[in-house]
Structure formats: C-alpha cells, structure tokens
Chain A
Amino acid sequence: EDKVVQSPLSLVVHEGDTVTLNCSYEVTNFRSLLWYKQEKKAPTFLFMLTSSGIEKKSGRLSSILDKKELFSILNITATQTGDSAIYLCAVEESQGAQKLVFGQGTRLTINP
C-alpha cells in the first residue's frame, strides 16, 4: 500500500529561524512529489518535484527530492508568522487516475 510519512508532525519555532520539514514515501509507481501549504481552507500549491537532486526555490522556500532514498525536504528560511500553517506532502502515482496520496502533514507554528 502506498504510504507517505511526514516529520515532525508539529513544530514550533521563533520568527527568523530556519526550518526543515521531511517527507518520506513508499509508492509503487512514482510520478511526482508535491508540497502544499494549508492555512484555514484548501491547500495551496508550493512545489512539484519529479527529478532527484534539483532544488526548486520560491522566495524563502525551497525543496529537493531524493528518489534513491525516497524522501523530500522542504526548507523555509527566515521564517515569518505568516508561514504558520500545515504543510502537506503528497505523492502522485504514475498509473491509473494519478491520484495523490497525502502525508499526515506538519503543523508549523512561528512565534513572534
């Protein structure tokens, strides 16, 4: 059965700190790994990763995928209170309906 595991489940840091969120997966037919940010409503897209070792960057956020070790990390530097959210990792299958399998999420809290 496909599985996506995120760690830590919860993280509290001070504004300005750097955080690293982890996502490991076991998927039979891997197509891509996606990171989402969820605040109060629906998740918003952050990154889609398909190739190993290529870092994707957007402002203070960056992410990289390791397809050999089956994990990805999401880094946030110089955190701000607006970064407080649940960060979801999902893996997309390459066959069939290409559904997304989500991890449990990491609840990130940034204190001023």
Chain B
Amino acid sequence: GAVVSQHPSRVICKSGTSVKIECRSLDFQATTMFWYRQFPKKSLMLMATSNEGSKATYEQGVEKDKFLINHASLTLSTLTVTSAHPEDSSFYICSARAPANTEAFFGQGTRLTVV
C-alpha cells in the first residue's frame, strides 16, 4: 500500500521554541494532506487540511498562527508548532490520500514533549 513518512517520530523541545514536523508521501502525489492531534486515550482530532500550493484550512478552534502549515510540493507538508508551550505536548499525526477512492494512509506520528 501507499506509504506516508512522518519525521521526527519523537521530539523534546524547550518552551518558547518552534518545532517543525514533516509529512511525506513516498510513492504517490498528495494534493491534500491532513494534520491530526491526539491526546492520551483520546481519538484523533483534525487540526487542518493542507492543500498543495494554497493556504491550509483550519478547523474551528485551531490557531493558524500557532500551527503553521506549509504544503510546498505534492509530496511534502510541514507542520510548525511555533512558540511551543507544555500544553502543546501531544501526539501529532499526518495523513494523505492517494488518488481518489482509496483510504487515507497515516504517517507514524510525532510525539512532541515541550518542557
């Protein structure tokens, strides 16, 4: 099946710094990628839809200036958590869909810890 690679898998950063997470579709082109956040023992919460070549679409309640999304190419989307705070600590997962009528494939996820 299609492969989505997410990097890094784990990151620890200091409060106030910014962290960039990459999501790559390895064997297909993805015009749309999705970014999710998952709190412990909770389900996936969609943060934003990343659109290649245009601005991301954010879900209600998600701060676009805090969670910067860039989808510069058909195989790469990045999520930057700016000025991170301990409450941003979470598991972030991206997903991408191969051409129409197929399931969404997920990256391995990134566990962010802000200290």
Contacts and interface: CB of A to CB of B under 8 A. Distances in A.
B36 to A, nearest CB: 8
Interface SS, A side = strand
Interface in B94-115: 95, 97, 103-109
B32 interface: yes
B100 to A, nearest CB: 9
Interface string B40-56: 01111110010100000
Given A99-B34, A100-B95, A105-B43, A42 B109 contact: yes
Given A97-B57, A102-B44, A104-B43, A42 B104 contact: no
B46 A100 contact: yes
B93 interface: yes
Residue among B6, B32, B44, B105 having the largest count of chain A Cβ atoms under 10 Å: B44
Interface residues of B, number: 25
A48 interface: yes
Interface in B19-33: 32
A99 B46 contact: yes
A99 B43 contact: no
Contacts of A44: 106
Nearest to B9: A41
Residue among B6, B41, B43, B93 having the largest count of chain A Cβ atoms under 10 Å: B43
A24 B57 CA distance: 26
A45 B108 CA distance: 13
Interface of A: 34, 36, 41-45, 48, 88, 90, 92, 97-105, 107
